[in-house]
Structure 1
Amino acid sequence: MLALMKLQNSYIHQFKKLIFSAAADVTLANNQDFCEFIAHFLEFTHYHYNSEGYSQAAQLVQAYHYILMEKLLDSHVLAAAEQMELAIGHLEMAVLDKQVRLNPQIIMLNQCILLMEEIQLKIIESLEAILANSRPAPQLQN
C-alpha cells in the first residue's frame, strides 16, 4: 500500500505542474468550474499526504493496529477519494466550455486525473483487504 501511495505522490507532483501551467491560461483561470476543480484537487492532496503519513508511521513500528487502519480509511483515504471525485466532476463541467475543452493542457489533466483515480481506488482496496485480514476475532460468550 505504501508503494501505491508513493506512486500517487509522484503523480500528484507531476499533476500539480500541469495545473499551475494550465492556470496561467486566462481562459482556464476565469472558468469557475476549473477553479473549483483546482480547489478540490488541492483538498484531495491534503488528505492524501496525511494518509501517507499514517501509513509510514504504521510501517515504521511494524504494527498495523485495526483501529488506526480503520480511522485512516475513514478519515483520510476516503476523504481524499471524495475530494478527487468532486475535482473530477468540476473538471468535467469545465470541459463543457468549448474554449476549455480544446485546451491541450486540459486534455492532459483529464488523462492524468483518471490515472490517479485508479491508483486511489487501489489504495482503498488495499486498505480494505488489510482491514478484512486484521479484523479482530469475535469474542465468544459463555
Structure 2
Amino acid sequence: MKFGEKVRLLRKEKKLSQTELGKLCGLSLRTIRNYEVNGRYPKQREVYTKLADALGCEVNFLLSEEEIVALKAQQGCSSRGIKEAEKLVAKAAALFSGEELNEQAKDGVMKALQNAYWLAKEKRREAQQRTRQADED
C-alpha cells in the first residue's frame, strides 16, 4: 500500500476531511490532496510525525513502503515472495495502527515476527551449509 493510500484510508477511518487533516497537521488542502491523489511524499521528515499523530498511527506505518521497495530491489526475490511480503507488511501495519492491541501485545507480536525471521534465516544458513558439504563429498 502506497503512502497516499495509507493517508486516505486512515483519514477516512477517523472521519476527517482532507481540509480537517490539513488543519490538524498545519498543511494545506492541496498538500493533503497531492499526497492522496498525486502520489507525492512529504519533503520534511517531521511531516510524517504530524500525520501519524493526527491519524493515530505509528510513523513506521507511513514509512513502511520504503521497506517493500528495498525488498523488491534485492536480487533473487520472486514476485510471489514480494507479494506475500507486501501483504504481511500491510496486515502488520494495520494491526499496529489500530487500537485492538495494547502496547504489550504489540511488543509480543513484534518479538514473534523477529524470532520467526531469525529462525528461518538460521535454517536457511544450515541448509546451505549442508548443500555445500554434500557438494564437497
TM-score range, shorter chain: 0.3 to 0.5
Q: Which has the larger radius of gyration?
A: 2
Larger % of helix: which? 1
Higher relative contact order, chain-length normalized (CA < 8 Å, sep 6+): 1
Report the TM-score, using the length of structure 1 for normalisation.
0.33
Report the TM-score, using the length of structure 2 for normalisation.
0.33
